[in-house]
């Protein structure tokens, strides 16, 4: 079962989210899903999860999740990854910079009946803000040595 859940998590990040596949993503989300980290103004349920995917896809092109680790225990999968993309659309009020970004993330995903029932994310939003030039400080990549 752990390998099945890890495969679902991997598919979500490597195939569904980068394509912006709403139907594919909706098929993975339990109707009672709670996202503990929705984008500003988005509801915490399934519609908010879809909205988050569209929000990300609207701000960034060429998205690619580099998965560093997939760890599972019981009904939960932890994904340690880096999002690589190019800022080509409006994002959090920031006009497109065409800047390539790399931002580290950890997603904790709990499953029920093979679907995502709960999601929590820890992201390097400070590093992303610096890469986009929104937050003063050291620019460049948030993840040293990442490609």
pLDDT one-digit tens code per residue, 26-53: 999 999 999 998 888 888 899 999 999 9
78 within some domain: yes
Q: Which tokens sit at 18?
A: 């980068």
Note the pLDDT of residue 138: 65
141 within some domain: no
Note the pLDDT of residue 139: 55
pTM of the model: 0.88
Mind listing the pLDDT tens digit for each residue in 59-111? 999 999 999 999 999 999 999 999 999 999 999 889 999 999 999 999 999 99
138 within some domain: no
12 within some domain: yes
Provide the residue range defining the domain that includes 71. 2-131
* CA 126 vs CA 57, 105, 140: distances in Å: 20, 12, 12
34 within some domain: yes
* CATH number of the domain that residue 121 is part of: 3.10.450.50
The number of folded domains in the chain is: 1
């Amino acid at each position: 079962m752990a390998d099945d859940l890890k495969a679902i998590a991997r598919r979500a990040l490597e195939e569904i989210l980068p394509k912006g596949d709403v139907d594919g993503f909706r098929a993975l989300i339990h109707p009672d899903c709670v996202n503990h980290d929705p984008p500003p103004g988005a509801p915490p349920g399934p519609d908010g999860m879809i909205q988050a995917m569209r929000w990300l896809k609207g701000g960034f092109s060429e998205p690619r999740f580099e998965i560093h680790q997939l760890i599972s225990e019981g009904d939960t999968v932890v994904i340690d990854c880096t999002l690589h993309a190019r800022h080509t659309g409006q994002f959090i009020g920031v006009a497109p910079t065409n800047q390539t970004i790399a931002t580290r993330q950890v997603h904790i995903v709990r499953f029920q009946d093979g679907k995502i029932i709960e999601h929590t994310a820890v992201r390097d939003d400070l590093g992303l803000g610096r890469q986009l030039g929104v937050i003063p400080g050291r620019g460049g990549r948030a993840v040293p040595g990442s490609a």
